[in-house]
Structure 1
Amino acid sequence: MDAKEIESKAKALGKASAQKEPATVIVGLLKELQTGVRASEDLLRRTKIGVVVNKFKTSQAPEVARLASEIVSKWRNEVNKQKQGGGTAASRASNSPRPPQNGTGASTPASATPSDKASKLSVPPDKRTWKADGVDTAVSGSRVRDSCIGLMYDGLCVGSTESPKTVLSMAAAVEKAAHTYLGPETKPEYKEKMRSLFQNLKNKSNPTLRVQVLSGDITPDKFVRMTSDELRSEQQRAADEAIKKKNMNDAMVAQAERSISTSLQCGKCGQRKVTYTEAQTRSADEPMTLFCTCLNCGKSWRQ
Structure 2
Amino acid sequence: MSCEDEVMKIGKKLEKMISNNSADHGGADDLLNRLKDIPMTLTVLQKTRIGMTVNNFRKAASKDEIVVLSKTLIKSWKKLLSTDSTPSKPDKKEKEREKSSGSPDQSDNNSEMSESMDSQSSQGKTLMRQDSEASLTNDPVRLKCRELLAAALKLDDDTIIPNAQSAIDLGGKIEDAIFLEFKNTEQKYKARIRSRVANLKDKKNPKLKERVIMGLIPPESIAIMTADEMASDEMKQLRAKFTKESIDDHQMAKQEGTVTDLFKCGKCGKKNCTYNQLQTRSSDEPMTTFVFCMECGNRWKFC
The TM-score normalised by the length of structure 2 is: 0.50
- Higher relative helix content: 2
